[in-house]
Chain A
Amino acid sequence: MSERILDIKNLSVTFGGLHALRDLNFHVDEGEIVGVIGPNGAGKTTFFNMISGMVTPTSGDILFEGESLIGLDPNQVTQRGISRTFQNVRLFANMTIAENVMVAQHCRTKQGVWGSLFNTPAFRKEEREIREHAEKVLGFFGTRLIGYRLEQPASVLSYANRRRLEIARAMATSPRLLLLDEPVAGMNPKESAELTDLIGKLRSEWGFTIVMIEHDMNVVRDVSDRVVCLDHGETLAQGSFEEVSNDPEVIEAYLGRPLEKRDAS
């Protein structure tokens, strides 16, 4: 099919004696949406931390567009084109909504001390572009985050809007691969259905490849091309949502509770 954008080979990490991830093999194709599921403590977030450079793997390799990411700082990983959100929303709470998104364009812009001190035409142009891009990204979520909201601090936002702003901030870094860590956690069913829609649009309209950790199986089912289930740092199953959700081992991992019943409830 299409070319592999992310290729993870025999990735392991140990924290002391704990194998957070063990011999993980995983790949993402260009333009795919991959759902990562698994019970708590399965190593999902560690997996994201490793890709984004916040944790260094003990062994194995991470290839992004054919180049290894091992040893890169988080900002270099972002520079290469991988951006992420955080499970426990981590916005710059006292910066305004616009600034939150503007600051994320840091690695795509370059004006330095000189430009800002002398307010050069290049500086003004870049600031204008940063601002425009920020408004465009925020406009993706409808009218919630633009208009008078632009100059408000992020801390006044509702929980759902904070999650949206976090996604907007990740989008603003102009990534090729977007890592979403539980994007709909804490949202009500209506909101999560809407966001599911938007995640689809992130691929179709913005061209992002997406890896998403999510516990809400409705969302995973609706949007993922492929699902990977992790447990105790190992891949339990990979494949379509149907295959994975019917996998006896996966059912076992979720305490023997069949997923069909979960959906029905």
Chain B
Amino acid sequence: MSTEMTTMNAAEELLGEAPSGLNLDKAVRYGGLLALSMIFVSLVGMVVGLDSRQILYWINPDVYVNHPGGVGISLGDIALFMWPLLLGAAVGNEVVLEGMVGRKRGVGDLLNGFVVGAVGGLGVAFMTMLMGWDREVDPDNGVADYGLRDPLVNWNEELYILLTFNRGWAFALWAWPLVGGVLAAVGASLRLMPDGIRKAAVAAVVAIVSVSIFQFLVDDLFEGVGETIADPGRLSNFFNDDPGAGRERVDSVFDGLIEFIYAQRGGLRLQGVILVGVAAAGLSLVGSYVTRGRVTKARKDYFDTPLPERTKSTAALMVLVSLALLILPFFTGKIVNELLANVGIFLLLALGLNIVVGLAGILDLGYVAFFAVGGYTTAILTSAGRGDAWPDWIPLFVNDGEPVLGGWLVALVIVMILAALTGLLIGAPVIRMRGDYLAIVTLGFGEIIRLLFLSDWLSGYFGGAQGITNIEGADFGPLGTVTGVNPRSVFYLVIVFSAIAIYISWRLEHSRLGRAWMAIREDESVAEAMGINTVNMKLMAFVVGAVLASFSGAIFSAKVGSIFPTSFLILVSIIILVVVIVGGMGNIMGVIVGSLVLIGVLGGPKQPGLLQEFSEYKLLIYGALLIWMMLKRPEGLVPNVRRSRELHQDEFLQDAWLKGEVDTDDEDGEVATEVAPA
């Protein structure tokens, strides 16, 4: 207790007088950032491109017929106006060290926020002014043209109208700083609110925006659940969600609710906004009152329990989650199942790469090669349309255009063996290299494999650019056939294999091999000096990763039904790596979260995610996310404990010291807490 007091006093002494909220220097810096962000999203075309997607209607479009778009907020508006809100909130962020007291906030903070927004708004206003000068209206037909249109595709009339609120740049010049300032001040005011209210407000805003952005997901979910409630007999046919196969369309019991909150053209109606906002805020308030921090405490208790004693609750949690996952597809429609199947395919890949990169620390940029080997091998074994050059003794599990029962499973065994061999073949020559060299060489090998599949030379085998089509699904007899037209079946197949992959990762991580991989990741030379055959161990990680990737390839083949070299671009390797990094390297849970967030929400290389509208800017968002992660949370969304220790060693040791966990030398009270040089 007394030590805490002294720390506090020391801190006060150190800081002197508590500073007032206004920090002009910082505010202007953030304002500049704000201006750049808003100009950037405008010029990449987000604001105009996403404007057609209405999110909220203030005035109901179904009633307000004279104004076809209704009056409201579009996704483009959100892409633009969220910045002042975010940065206004961000400017008030201060690091409060443990044992120190945060400064009292006041009007100064609001002013701070306003300055941020005003400076940012001024930036945008300046741009509209430039646009106004550049704008030339053809006197004959009234069409406006811009000199800078050529280099800047989005420097156009639509953007001008949007950014000037259709009132010319002179209006924008004073309106923008005002709008930006007010919005940023609103953002800053978040920090002035009491905790409960702030949480409720944030919950309401997040709920409104996500319910409207994820409209088709909500739609699909409510429809699925509602239909099941209305017609429970439907469940008997649950392995097949193809409407053509005997599933009657019934009215969902939630149809009324959906019609109440959503407008026909898409987007929330005003009544929907109010309903969702109030519900979310209410839930947040009631929730925090009812639990009174018990959830946080339970969470903390869970993570404070040492690993061996935690297994029971972890197991219970796992069982619950898997049950929920198993039931989920019965209730969701085709779109969501398709989405989940895609997430699963990438999850499998990411789990494999997680062993290679996350555990063994081998940066493999050519990982897609094994995905390709899996996909092509399956295609060759299960497609009548495979190349003519294959000799007859290569089995073909197709009979009169129908897949052979269990043929896919037999193919899978062959796929595994071939993938493992490919892993050995690629791995053996390169695995002795370290770090960057290894990354570059694997990148090369990944491309070589793809180019082999693409080449004319081997087109008799792999079909060149035409690929292999007519791949049959996986026939499991009474359980049904897994094909792309039935995404629920793909989802189940993916679930089974993900479970296998998770089990493999988990078992290996906590075994002699996993320890050896970790040691190699930490310090390869020392690991070798301690008797670990690093070459063999790294090769083994490589091969295990390859086999998991080939599973994914095999499912991908059966799902898509045709396979082309363009499915296996380098981009796939990169995206899987991003999934692993963003999710949290070396942590299975992190990889799952990473695939849900990136592949599920943003979308994979060719698969649309929940944010379909953003698919054009997918890579932009990926990049921004990656940069942000590297700066703010390099250990990933759900970090591996060790990994985050590695990256936050100082903070970790500081915390440990505060908790009295750091070891001091037993005699003479000599304290040695510094980290030895690596």
Contact = CB atoms under 8 A, between A and B. Distances in A.
Q: Do they bind each other? A: yes
Interface of A: 52-54, 73-75, 78-79, 83-84, 86, 88-90, 92-95, 99, 102-104, 106-109, 111-113, 115-117, 119, 123, 126-127, 130, 144, 149, 151-153, 155-162, 169-170, 173, 188, 190-191
Contacts of B526: 86, 90, 92
Interface of B: 306-307, 503-504, 507-508, 510-516, 518-519, 522-523, 525-534, 540, 544, 642-643, 645-646, 649, 652-653, 656, 661-668, 670-678
A104 B531 contact: yes
Given A54-B525, A144-B663, A158-B662, 18 more contacts: A75-B528, A75-B529, A78-B529, A89-B676, A90-B523, A92-B518, A93-B676, A94-B522, A99-B518, A102-B515, A103-B527, A109-B512, A116-B511, A149-B663, A156-B662, A157-B663, A159-B676, A188-B665
A173 B530 CA distance: 7
Contact of A156 (B519, B653, B670): B653
B658 to A, nearest CB: 12
B249 to A, nearest CB: 45
Contacts of B663: 144, 149, 156-158, 161
B512 A95 contact: no
B507 A119 contact: yes
Contacts of A52: 529
A41 to B, nearest CB: 19
28 contacts: A54-B525, A74-B529, A75-B528, A75-B529, A75-B532, A79-B531, A88-B676, A92-B519, A92-B522, A92-B526, A94-B645, A94-B646, A103-B519, A106-B531, A106-B532, A107-B533, A113-B508, A113-B540, A115-B511, A116-B510, A116-B511, A156-B656, A156-B661, A158-B671, A158-B672, A169-B530, A170-B530, A191-B665
Contacts of A73: 528, 533
B275 to A, nearest CB: 49
A108 to B, nearest CB: 8
B673 A106 contact: no
A92 B523 contact: yes
A88 B519 contact: no
B653 to A, nearest CB: 7
B529 A160 contact: no
Q: Which of A83, A106, A170 has the most chain B CB atoms closer than 10 A to its own CB?
A: A106
B508 A116 contact: yes
A78 B534 CA distance: 13
Contacts of A111: 511-512
B559 to A, nearest CB: 26
A265 to B, nearest CB: 20
Contacts of B656: 156
Contacts of B508: 113, 116-117
Given A106-B516, A158-B673, A190 B667 contact: yes
Nearest to A95: B518
Given A103-B530, A106-B512, A159-B676, A117 B507 contact: yes
A15 B429 CA distance: 27
A127 B510 CA distance: 10
Contacts of B643: 94
B504 to A, nearest CB: 6
A160 B672 contact: yes
**6 nearest interchain CB pairs?**
A107-B531, A116-B511, A78-B531, A159-B672, A92-B522, A94-B642
Given A92-B518, A95-B642, A103-B518, A155 B530 contact: no
A29 B544 CA distance: 45
Contacts of A109: 512
A200 to B, nearest CB: 20
Given A152-B661, A155-B675, A106 B530 contact: yes
Contacts of B673: 158
Contacts of A103: 515-516, 518-519, 527, 530, 532
Given A158-B665, A188-B667, A188-B668, A151 B504 contact: no
Contact of B534 (A75, A94, A104): A75
B502 to A, nearest CB: 12
Nearest to A90: B526
B475 to A, nearest CB: 27
Contacts of B652: 155
A91 to B, nearest CB: 8
B511 A123 contact: yes
Contacts of A112: 512-513
Nearest to B515: A103
A120 B652 CA distance: 37
Nearest to B675: A155
A176 B670 CA distance: 35
A161 B526 CA distance: 18
A117 B504 contact: yes
A160 B663 CA distance: 10
Contact of B531 (A54, A99, A155, A173): A173
Contacts of B528: 73-75
Contact of A130 (B512, B532, B671): B512
B356 to A, nearest CB: 15
A127 B301 CA distance: 28
B96 to A, nearest CB: 24
Contacts of B516: 103, 106
A170 B526 CA distance: 11
A13 B310 CA distance: 53
Contacts of B514: 116
Contacts of A102: 515
Nearest to B518: A95
Contact of A144 (B515, B642, B666): B666
Contacts of B672: 158-160
B394 to A, nearest CB: 28
Contact of B530 (A104, A153, A158): A104
Contacts of A149: 663
A86 B661 CA distance: 26
A113 B664 contact: no
A191 B667 contact: yes
Contacts of B664: 158
A113 B529 CA distance: 23
Contacts of B512: 106, 109, 111-112, 116, 126-127, 130
Contact of A151 (B307, B507, B653): B307
Contact of B665 (A126, A153, A159): A159
Nearest to B508: A116
Contact of A155 (B645, B668, B677): B645
Q: Which of B510, B522, B643, B668 has the most chain A CB atoms closer than 10 A to its own CB?
A: B522
Contacts of B533: 73, 75, 107
